[in-house]
Each structure stands twice: as C-alpha cells, then as structure tokens.
C-alpha cells in the first residue's frame, strides 16, 4: 500500500451528486485516503444528507449509468477524521459559515490535511466526479522527477459519454487568456497520455498538489471566486514541473452546480460572468501586454453567442470581462454578503 493521499472535495448545493463521489472514494484500494469534505454554506440538503448517509439512515444504490462497478460501503462512516472500520479511509466534514468560493474551500481543506505529516500529496476533486477504485492509488504512487513536482493531473472523462475525454491538462492562449483542454472530445482508448511539458495548468476538477508546491506557492488565490484560480496558482510553480498520471482516471458530470459548458451547450450566464471576469483578472495580473487582444476576443465571443440566440450569456460575458456589475443571473444565485465577496466588494 502506498502512502496516505489527502483528498479535498468542496461542496456547494451538491446533494444530488455528493454520495456517488464519496462512495466511489471509499471503494478505493491500494492506498489510504484522508478526505476533507468542505461545505461552502450550501443552501440545500448537502450537509444533512451526508450526515444521514454516514449514520446509515439514508440508503445508497449506485446509479445505473455509473461507468464502473461499485459496491456500497459499510456504514456507519465517521465524519470526524477517524478511520472507517471497513476500509481505513478517513473523512472529515468541515462546514464553513459562508460561501468562500472554490479556492476558499480548497484552502480550508488544504490547511486541515497539511497538519498531517503523513500526507505529501493533496488531491483536489470536484464533488460531481466519480473515481474508479484504482485511481487514488495511481495518483498516490505515480512516479515523479527526482526534483519533485508542483501539480499533477490525470485524465478527466465525461460521465455521460465515458469514452470521451474532457481534459488531460490545460493550456492558455497568451494573447486572449482563453484556456483550452488537451484531449477535448477525443476518444479515451485512441488517445495517448498528454505530456506535462505541453500543459500550462491542471484542471481543478482533478488536481494533485504536492506539499512542496503548497509550501512554496502558498494557498490558492481566492479573489477569482470561480474559474482561473488553478490557472493563476500554476503560474506560481517556479522550477517545479507538472506531472501526469496515466492511471488517474475520473468521470466528471461537468458543471452541474454552476452551469459550465459541455460539448452541446454553452456556459450559463452565471458561468460566463465569472469565467470571463477571471480571464481578464488573469490577463491584467500576468499578461498585461495582451489586454487589448483579450478584450477584442470578448467582443468577438459575445457577438458569436448573440448571433446564436444566447443573448443573456453574451451580456454576462461582456459584463464580466469589463468588471461591470453582475447581472441578475449572478446576484439572484448568491446571498448578498457572498456576492460582495465574490465581486471583491467585501470590506
């Protein structure tokens, strides 16, 4: 068995999908897991559902379309960080008082797990993913350069089309700030692993963080709230290289909480606003010489969406890019104090 792997799962209104994620993690073999579930002040039943499931009061059956076989775990499951009797895995449920955004949740989980000196790899994992039982051990034991690594990625496949790749690693267009997905839309069985040297960042949906990187770069930047946090973070890696784990397979339902784009639909207005706000924040911070071309891209992309009939999405994109007040599709989904934090207006 390889060394203990830390896992951080940040939830927000994740009641519909979180049990699939946790059950698949508890089925892991070949490595011991310490899982920090960080709830970002969900307004739905996420926390009570997890608690009832852990006590054995809520039945669980794997969904019929799960891409791999899964046997439900034995319960009860402690939520205080102590070992699960049947598997040895540990889960700690951390409830935050307010929605601190994706990065805030990740940082809370990192701070909790980093206190354990046995853990030197921390796996940031979306709650709308499921993981085959061999994946955690692959990440925990993946070989890395002698000098170590900063961030490690694996292959993220679409849950609904499990033979199709969503992302192997991320790239950045340094003129526009637009991110790209290596392997996007290609068949898993026909696509060789991507090379770390071709990557600019690792997706936050499934990203392994080394302790060396965490201690050198510090916490994930929280001022983006959603999107581009992991892109900005990757820019702080210094001489530590990326790593890639071919066995690090996860299946992703893709944007269930915030309306991220899929192969057949554009991102929601909520997602458009924060993604393009983050894109321009990133450009101003790291590539200020590309600000003009980045804004020209804004106009072109908004026009493209509008011509296809997605006018609300186009307007949200422009508002986010120009750092203008958020549209109602954003403000109606977030409590006022969270909205102020998300938009950098908190005192």
Q: pLDDT digit string (tens) for 186-239?
A: 999 999 999 999 999 999 999 999 999 999 999 999 999 889 999 999 999 999
Interatomic CA distance for residues 175 and 288, integer angstroms: 10
164 within some domain? no
pLDDT of residue 330: 80
76 within some domain? yes
pLDDT of residue 265: 67
**In the predicted model, is pLDDT for residue 38 greater than 50?**
yes
pLDDT of residue 346: 52
Picking from 222, 252, 282, the residue at the C-terminal end of a domain is 252
185 within some domain? no
Interatomic CA distance for residues 203 and 255, integer angstroms: 13
Question: Do 15 and 105 belong together in one domain?
Answer: yes
Question: Do 74 and 198 belong together in one domain?
Answer: yes
Question: Do 37 and 83 belong together in one domain?
Answer: yes
Question: Do 148 and 34 belong together in one domain?
Answer: yes
**In the predicted model, is pLDDT for residue 159 greater than 60?**
yes
Question: Do 289 and 236 belong together in one domain?
Answer: no
Question: Do 277 and 134 belong together in one domain?
Answer: no
pLDDT (tens digit per residue) in 265-292: 678 899 999 999 999 999 999 999 999 9
CATH of the domain at 67: 3.90.550.10
127 within some domain? yes
Question: Do 276 and 239 belong together in one domain?
Answer: no
pLDDT of residue 336: 73
pLDDT mean across residues, the chain:
93
Question: Do 63 and 134 belong together in one domain?
Answer: yes
Nearest-CA neighbor of 90 among 103, 102, 73, 71? 73
pTM, rounded to two decimals: 0.92
Q: How far is CA 323 from CA 26, 225, 273, 282, 286, in A?
A: 42, 14, 9, 12, 17
Structural domains of the chain, count: 2
Q: Which tops the pLDDT comparison, 258 or 287? A: 287
Rounded to an integer, the average pLDDT of 121-146 is: 97
**In the predicted model, is pLDDT for residue 20 greater than 60?**
yes
Question: Do 216 and 97 belong together in one domain?
Answer: yes
49 within some domain? yes
The count of other CB atoms within 10 Å of the CB of residue 222 is: 16
List beta partners, residue 149.
Answer: none
CB 44 within 8 A of CB 11: no
98 within some domain? yes
20 within some domain? yes
Structural tokens at position 89: 């895995």
Question: Do 6 and 79 belong together in one domain?
Answer: yes
Angle 23-210-258 from CA coordinates, rounded to 5°: 50
pLDDT of residue 338: 73
The torsion angles phi and psi of 55, rounded to 5 degrees, stand at -75, -10
213 within some domain? yes
pLDDT (tens digit per residue) in 62-102: 999 999 999 999 999 999 999 999 999 999 999 999 999 99
Q: How many residues does the chain have?
A: 347
pLDDT of residue 323: 85
Question: Do 136 and 276 belong together in one domain?
Answer: no
Q: At what angle do helices 311-321 and 269-286 cross, to 10 degrees?
A: 30
From first CA to last CA, the distance across the chain in angstroms is 48
**Where in the sequence is the domain holding 134, given as residue range(s)?**
2-154+191-252
pLDDT of residue 347: 43
Question: Do 64 and 119 belong together in one domain?
Answer: yes
């Amino acid at each position: 068995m390889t060394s203990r792997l830390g896992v951080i799962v940040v939830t927000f209104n994740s009641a519909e999908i979180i049990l699939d994620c946790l059950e698949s993690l508890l089925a892991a073999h070949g490595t011991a897991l310490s899982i920090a579930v960080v709830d970002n002040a969900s307004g739905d039943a996420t926390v009570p559902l997890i608690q009832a499931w852990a006590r054995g009061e809520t039945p669980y059956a794997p969904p019929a379309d799960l891409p791999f076989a899964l046997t439900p775990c034995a319960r009860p499951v402690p939520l205080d960080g102590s070992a699960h009797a049947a598997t040895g895995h540990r889960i700690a449920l951390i409830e935050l008082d307010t929605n601190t955004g994706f990065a805030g949740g990740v940082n809370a989980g990192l701070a909790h797990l980093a206190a354990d000196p046995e853990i030197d790899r921390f796996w940031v994992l979306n709650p709308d993913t499921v993981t085959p039982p061999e994946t955690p051990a692959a990440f925990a034991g993946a070989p890395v350069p002698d000098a170590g690594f900063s961030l490690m990625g694996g292959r993220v496949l679409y849950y609904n089309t499990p033979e199709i790749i969503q992302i192997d690693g991320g790239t950045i267009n340094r003129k526009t700030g637009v991110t790209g997905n290596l392997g996007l839309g290609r068949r898993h069985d026909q696509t060789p692993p991507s090379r770390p040297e071709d990557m600019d960042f690792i997706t936050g949906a499934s990203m392994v963080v080394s302790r060396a990187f965490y201690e050198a770069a510090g916490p994930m930047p929280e001022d983006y709230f959603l999107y581009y946090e992991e892109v900005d973070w990757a820019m702080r890696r210094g001489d530590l290289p990326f790593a890639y784990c071919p066995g690090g397979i996860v299946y992703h339902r893709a944007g269930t909480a915030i309306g991220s784009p899929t192969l057949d639909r554009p991102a929601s207005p909520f997602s458009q606003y924060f993604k393009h706000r983050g894109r321009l924040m990133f450009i101003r911070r790291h590539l200020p010489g590309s600000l003009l071309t980045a804004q020209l891209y804004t106009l072109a992309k908004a026009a493209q969406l509008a011509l296809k009939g997605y006018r609300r999405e186009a307007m949200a994109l422009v508002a986010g890019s120009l750092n203008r007040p958020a549209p109602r599709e954003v403000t109606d989904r977030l409590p006022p104090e969270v909205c102020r934090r998300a938009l950098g207006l908190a005192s």
